[in-house]
Chain A
Amino acid sequence: MKVIEIKNLVKIYNGSEIEVKAVNGIDLNFEEGEFAAIVGPSGSGKTTFLNMLGGLDRPTSGEVNIGGINIWGLSSRKLIDFRMNNIGFVFQAYNLIPVLTAGENIELIMHLQGRPKKEREERTKELLDAVGLIDRLKSRPNKLSGGQQQRVAVARALASKPKFILADEPTANLDSKSTTGLLDIMAEMNRKYNTTFIFATHDKRVMDKAKRIVTIDDGKVVEDKWQ
């Protein structure tokens, strides 16, 4: 089943003198349960593409249809709500809220969704258990290693039961062991919850784990292969 349908997506940055086409007419579809990597050299437009996909950066033209809804046709407020209910994010720098514990970081998004306390607590424990950090439920991010923080970030991204998860360079700050561990967990989550994962990455280890690799260069898809 098609989760994301991207039509002729364009993003142009207007500098003082020059115009930069960061994304130059991308057409792509992502199916439910995909484990895909967007790859390409630095400045190729991966992150810009991912941001437009996630409803964070407005495209100059084109459409991003998620579950049949063109997200860029929504009002700002509706877009925020849509993001909360349909899209999960994993950032390169983890970006956990430092004043909240691991459990509270995961619970926060469910709290914003208005889910009952009992359900929130149960799901938080389930997700922390799934990423192997149930014993760190009450630990603040500064008490966790980088790998552990990123695992909590993955659990947080899954908490809202999103249609897909966007991960921008999720392993860039991790050592080899943590990267392997994180990728295994994400693959397991992908399998267990059938959630679509889309990564923007340079990391060979992520590419090796991905089932589909979309290569972008100069804002265009130059290769789209399954492995």
Chain B
Amino acid sequence: MMTYFKIAWRNLWRNKRRTLITSASIFFGVFFAIFMSSVQQGTMQNMVDNMVSFYTGYLQIQEEQFNENRSINNSFIPNEYLINSINSHNAITQYAQRLESFALAASELNSFGSMILGIQPEKEDAISGLSKWIIKGNFITPGSKDVLLGKVLAENLKLVLNDTVVLIGQGYHGVSAAGKYRVAGLLDFPLAELSRQVVYMDISNCQELFSLPGHLTSIVLMVSNPDEVQGAATLINQDLPDELRIYRWDELQPELVNLIEGKLASGKIIKGLLFMIIGFGVWGTIIMLMSERKRELGVLIALGMRKTRLTIMIIIESAYIGILGILLGVVVSLPLVWHLFINPLRVGGKIGETYTKMGFEPIIAFSMQPEVFYSPAITIFIMFAIISIYEIWYIAKLKAVIALRA
């Protein structure tokens, strides 16, 4: 077998220029595919991370009906067994309880509809980094009777720090809910819509407002590695009572999933076209190579080399070309992608503003997922497997007596 590898390797360098040009075309394809996959996956992951950490978490436990009908009547009281179950899973790094509803926020002059979010301040801050959006005042502490208002909501209500906001709404099963609270801080989110309607308060305060002692609408769970989401969901699901359900982030954000899938699909089409062009180029090289060496192949058959062995030798030779291109592509792209993974590109100007407005960090992030690197290699491998069908066919139909006349 070593002889075939040796002959194939030497044959590779019989026409150095052709080998290098063919390998270079594969190299550029692999390099471009890696770069493109890395930036696509990195951007998507960044989008998911932003969305997940900002609001949904990787997983959420909710009452069965809540996702369809976001009413506080569809809230639940977590039992000790559930909390112990969450604490016992190593994959879960953080969790926070929330109570979410709607109320009318009023000042002396105005009133506006608002979204009330009862949170566990420290845990929520650890997950979503809520405190970083505070532009005035302070973050609330556990047990605090104060609230945080969205900046635009505060402006609309003509309220400033330490003013009082009145919340009026409907509590559990139609009970009236009303309370007045001091404004401890103002939040300025990148998404203006959020700043226009959110009111954050401590969860116990919120439960009291809506007459829901001990009730939650969701428990937000974070995992250390996005790959562990499904595993963690399955484990926790086993411990959930019938009326509760666990949702993955992609179930809670179907629009985001569609956006990601759409972008990935367009990337796949571009990469597919790229590899198709490269594939035809490589095929052309192989056709030329086989044609040029027709007589030599005839000699080897005449001397007694079986066609299967001859095919193996030719396939090894074309595999060398592929491996050379793949290795070059990976070796050159690896440090570049690594550098961009560590130092993502900052996006400025209007594009950057758009990113920020959408609630995403204005960066072009890169991914170092192994898939980014092995996926083009597998594509090239498949490409060569298809081309080798031509080689097998060519040698199978080759007649030594005709080849010797070539």
Given contacts A95-B295, A95-B296, A54 and B14 within 8 Å (CB-CB): no
Q: Which residues of B contact A77 (CB under 8 A)?
A: 306
> Are B7 and A160 in contact, with the CB atoms below 8 A?
no
B302 interface residue (CB < 8 Å to A): yes
With a cutoff of 8 Å between Cβ atoms, the chain A residues found around residue B301 in the complex are 80
Q: Are B306 and A80 in contact (CB under 8 A)?
A: yes
Give the interface SS of chain B, mostly helix, strand, loop or mixed: helix
| 10 A–B contacts, CB within 8 A, in A order | A81-B304, A83-B304, A84-B303, A95-B299, A97-B299, A98-B14, A98-B296, A99-B10, A99-B14, A112-B303
Q: Is there a chain B Cβ closer than 8 Å to A111's Cβ?
A: yes
* Per-position binary interface string of chain A over residues 129-148, scored 1 when its CB falls under 8 Å from any chain B CB and 0 otherwise: 00000000000000000000
Q: Using a CB-CB cutoff of 8 Å, which residues 288-314 of chain B contact chain A?
A: 295-296, 299-307, 309
On whether the beta carbons of B306 and A97 are closer than 8 Å, the reply is: no
Q: Which residues of A contact B299 (CB under 8 A)?
A: 91, 95, 97
A81-B301 Cα distance, complex, nearest whole Å: 10
Give chain A interface residues in 173-200, CB to chain B under 8 Å.
Answer: none
Q: Does B332 contact A (CB under 8 A)?
A: no
Q: Which residues of A contact B (CB under 8 A)?
A: 51, 54, 56-57, 77, 80-81, 83-85, 89, 91, 93, 95, 97-100, 108-109, 111-113, 156, 160
Contact in complex: A80, B7 (CB < 8 Å): no
> In residues 150-183 of chain B, which contact A (Cβ within 8 Å)?
none
Q: Are A160 and B3 in contact (CB under 8 A)?
A: no
Interface: B400 (CB within 8 A): yes
Residue B11 interfacial (CB < 8 Å)? yes
Residues of B near A93 (CB, < 8 A) are: 295
A89-B296 contact in complex given A98-B14, A111-B3, C-beta closer than 8 Å: no
In the complex, given contacts A111-B3, A112-B303, what are 20 additional A-B residue pairs having Cβ atoms less than 8 angstroms apart?
Answer: A51-B401, A56-B404, A80-B304, A81-B304, A83-B303, A83-B304, A84-B303, A84-B304, A91-B299, A93-B295, A95-B295, A95-B296, A98-B14, A99-B10, A99-B11, A100-B10, A109-B303, A109-B304, A112-B305, A113-B304
B8: nearest chain-A partner, CB-CB: A99
B304 touches A160 (CB 8 A): yes
Asked whether B303 lies within 8 Å of A56 as measured between CB atoms, the reply is no
**Contact, CB under 8 Å: A89 / B303:** yes
- A192 CB to nearest chain B CB (Å): 22
B105 to chain A, nearest CB (A): 83
State the 10 A-B residue pairs at the shortest beta-carbon distance, nearest first. Answer: A84-B304, A99-B10, A57-B401, A56-B401, A95-B299, A56-B400, A51-B401, A83-B304, A112-B304, A99-B11
Alpha-carbon distance between A77 and B301 when the two chains are bound, in angstroms? 10
A97 partner residues in chain B, CB cutoff 8 A = 7, 296, 299-300
Q: Which residues of chain A come closer than 8 Å to B300, judged between CB atoms?
A: 97
Among A91, A112, A113, point to the contact of B404 (Cβ < 8 A): A91
Output the least CB separation between A183 and chain B (Å): 23
In the complex the two chains form, what is the Cα distance from A29 to B330 in whole Å? 63
- Is the Cβ of A83 less than 8 Å from the Cβ of B302? yes
Q: Which of B300, B304, B309, B401 has the most CB of A within 10 A?
A: B304
Indicate the member of A80, A93, A112 with the most B CB atoms within 10 Å. Answer: A80
